[in-house]
A and B are shown apart, each in its own frame.
Chain A
Amino acid sequence: MFGRIYALIVKEMLLLWKDRRMRFVILMPPLIQVLVFTFAATFEVRHVPLGVWNEDGTAASRELVRRFTDSNAFDFAGTIDNPQALRDWIDSQKASAVLHIDPRFSADLASNRPARVQLIIDGRRSNVALIVQNYAATIVATYNRETLAAGTLMADAGPQIEVRAWYNPNLDSQWYILPALNALVVMVMVMLINALSVARERELGTFDQLLVTPLRPFEILIGKVTPSLIIAAAEAFGILAVAVFAFGLPFRGSLPWFGISFVIFLLSAIGIGLAISSVAQTQQQAILGVFIFLAPAIILSGMATPIDNMPPWCQTLSLVNPVRYMIDLTRSLYLRDPTVPLILHQLWPMMVIGTVTLGFATLLFRRRLG
């Protein structure tokens, strides 16, 4: 029996490796995606073009403007002197934000009245707008504390807030996105391989040949699963090495648990791929099935936006998505050395998904035979 399975594994391995293009597609895209998307996925906002409409023009207001333009968040885009220009600049995205200082600014400040300053922000990109608002608030708060406390005005010490971020002290976006990509990128590849493997054999008619060999459906399953599991697991460790050595991420969890988690996760992904493959009549249908699964699975994985933010029905739907658990797990393994109960808490749903889908695929193999 083991000889038979071994022979099938060798055959499947050869299929994956003999084609130069296939080899390229298995190896390169995951690596390229990790490299590019890690750099792309930044939640920090820099170089926001800032227009300045300063109707006050005194030293106090120029100091405030200087604090805005000197910060990393804003780039000085130019000065504006009328409401029409303000509208044009924001409309054409020449400026994403405009700082408007009232003519009474310094007078108000001197007479201890609130000196109002407006920041008009382009709300089309709400993700940027929210962050820009926070930056601006910080700059104004610092300005208030430093210039007002030091000057002749009232000494307002105000709250001194110290912020500590555990596990990721600088709140580096790369530390957030790379562990997620590690799980996601490998899954995309492994699902495509598996969804296509049975469908292609069926389209070419070789699947019937496979079924009439002494191999039992269960053995066929093992033969199909093993090669892609080996390749994908190796790739997962490869990405881990890139993350730690090239991007300087910490790895605080344990390597054996990383391996175990990935094997279980990959088995559940392979299970879904094979289940799709055994239902599909043609390769095209199989690919379609994978895409229909993958596209929402990526959204509902918590990779880019947290699952907690989603409406309840989306959260419920995400429960059948193995990536959801794995991304949580890789993030924990990279950054916080999770306890075994915390790991198992994410592992068991993937085991259930894997068992169900792999069982389903085997059943379908058998039925085709009969």
Chain B
Amino acid sequence: MNRLLRPRRLLALLRKEFVQILRDPSAILIAFVMPVALLLLNGYGLSLDAKNVDFGVVIEAQTPRTMSLYRAFVDTPYLAARPYYTDSAAEAALLRREIKGYIVVRAETIRNLANALKPQPYLIVVDGVDANTARIVEGYAVGVLGGWYQREATSNSPSNLAPGVQLEHRYWFNPELRSTSFIVPGLIAVVMTLVGALLTAMIVAREWERGTMETLMASPASILEIMLSKLLSNFVLGMMAMAVSVILGLLLFQVPFSALFLISALALGLFISTIARNQFVAAQLTFITTYMPALMLSGLLFDIASMPHWVQDLTHIVAARYFVACLQTLFLAGDVSAILLPNALILFCFAVVFSLITLRRMNRNLEG
């Protein structure tokens, strides 16, 4: 062990790494400019809350009741309602993509309102090309209609209709269901995966490409020392980047932070860089193994439990998944160790496993 790891040699290597980082503006750019820019853009840009969606209301006959229903659609902040007087006008607007959907209010339906036993059909048409928005719009429209019915029922003929079961919703931790408070904690995970992996992957891949890695290996320094020096120096840089993101997150969105996740991201970066000595391959792999999975498979945007089982299994190897769970709990629920501890433990395993694989690969590269 002593021959493998001498503090003096490690310190010398660390110094070399820091000098290298300080003299290379691109490392500083990755570590500081990128997280800030990404956090700002994504924090504001990724929004699942649809508001003011253009929506048509087809009114066949203008009676006080239809106008009151139309006003209900105008009053909701979620829909920007526009009146149409025929089906075909609304249909044409949907085709021109001016509205995302429309509801048809038939004159007969409104006449039947007084008698609960007569049919009261409504038609809601949505533009399915954006399936997500379509589903949300459908929900909004049904909600507005339901709310209007309840108001009408209580104000006009209280004895006529049974109230039945009424469902109340309580949202814990995030009462307004703002998607930014849900997304921003996860975003730090996404951004830091990219930054951490990119830092190490690029730096080591460049050493291979320029042939300086062989020079390093030919020196008395052991593989462990070389790897540790790369990991540690980038860790310091990454932690500083994390600090910047966290300060920004605290100021703008309020977010906590974790070091373990960063280590696993850095180790992943080192691992990638030993496989891919070519910078193109390193860049492509980093992007594909970090940013995209962190976005798509971490539970940040899409619910993991709803994915097919084999994709759920895949998400277990995405480090960001555990970090997203940690951050969201820390941020919105406070310290809940039942969730934090297992996730942190898994992140720790990630860091160890990736580091070990990297060590072995570097050894083999030297022999080969």
Check B333 against A155 for contact (C-beta < 8 Å).
no
Check B297 against A163 for contact (C-beta < 8 Å).
no
Which residue in chain A gives the minimum CB-CB distance to B33?
A: A292
Given A91-B336, A311-B44, A332-B129, verify A157-B119 contact (CB < 8 Å).
Answer: yes
Report which of A43, A91, A134 forms a contact with B333, defined as CB distance below 8 A. Answer: A91
A85 → B minimal CB distance (Å): 14
Report which of B41, B136, B182 forms a contact with A126, defined as CB distance below 8 A. Answer: B182
Q: Does A213 contact B (CB under 8 A)?
A: no
Given A284-B206, A299-B41, verify A127-B165 contact (CB < 8 Å).
Answer: no
Question: What residues of chain A lie closer than 8 Å to B107, measured between beta carbons?
Answer: none
Q: Does B283 contact A (CB under 8 A)?
A: yes
- Give A269-299 as 1s and 0s: 1 = Cβ < 8 Å from B's Cβ atoms: 0000000000000111101101110111011
Which of A114, A127, A332, A342 is the most central at the interface, judged by chain B CB atoms within 10 Å of its CB? A127
- Give B134-178 as 1s and 0s: 1 = Cβ < 8 Å from A's Cβ atoms: 111011001101100100000000001111111111111111011
Which residue in chain A gives the minimum CB-CB distance to B125?
A: A164
Question: What residues of chain B lie closer than 8 Å to A314, measured between beta carbons?
Answer: 41, 44-45
Question: What residues of chain A lie closer than 8 Å to B138, measured between beta carbons?
Answer: 163, 165
Report which of A120, A131, A163, A175 forms a contact with B170, defined as CB distance below 8 A. Answer: A120
Check A291 against B287 for contact (C-beta < 8 Å).
yes
Given A126-B174, A283-B279, verify A288-B305 contact (CB < 8 Å).
Answer: no
Check A127 against B164 for contact (C-beta < 8 Å).
no
Q: Does A300 contact B (CB under 8 A)?
A: yes
Report which of A48, A123, A175 forms a contact with B177, defined as CB distance below 8 A. Answer: A123
A231 to B12, CA, bound (A): 46
A248 to B231, CA, bound (A): 46
Interface residues of A in 305-363 (CB under 8 A from B): 305-306, 308-311, 313-314, 317-318, 331-332, 335-336, 342
Among B1-9, B306-314, B345-353, the stretch in contact with A: B306-314
A148 to B296, CA, bound (A): 43
Question: What residues of chain B lie closer than 8 Å to A144, measured between beta carbons?
Answer: 164-165
Question: What residues of chain A lie closer than 8 Å to B297, measured between beta carbons?
Answer: 36-37, 40
Among B48-56, B252-260, B354-362, the stretch in contact with A: B48-56
Check B329 against A124 for contact (C-beta < 8 Å).
yes
Report which of A33, A64, A122, A172 forms a contact with B165, defined as CB distance below 8 A. Answer: A64
Report which of B53, B177, B315 forms a contact with A130, defined as CB distance below 8 A. Answer: B177
A106 → B minimal CB distance (Å): 11
Question: What residues of chain B lie closer than 8 Å to A292, measured between beta carbons?
Answer: 29, 33-34, 37
A102 → B minimal CB distance (Å): 10
Question: What residues of chain A lie closer than 8 Å to B126, measured between beta carbons?
Answer: 163-166, 171
Question: What residues of chain A lie closer than 8 Å to B10, measured between beta carbons?
Answer: none
Check A336 against B129 for contact (C-beta < 8 Å).
yes
A221 to B244, CA, bound (A): 40
A90 to B68, CA, bound (A): 40
* 9 closest residue pairs by CB, A with B: A168-B128, A123-B174, A154-B162, A123-B171, A165-B128, A144-B164, A114-B163, A176-B131, A126-B182
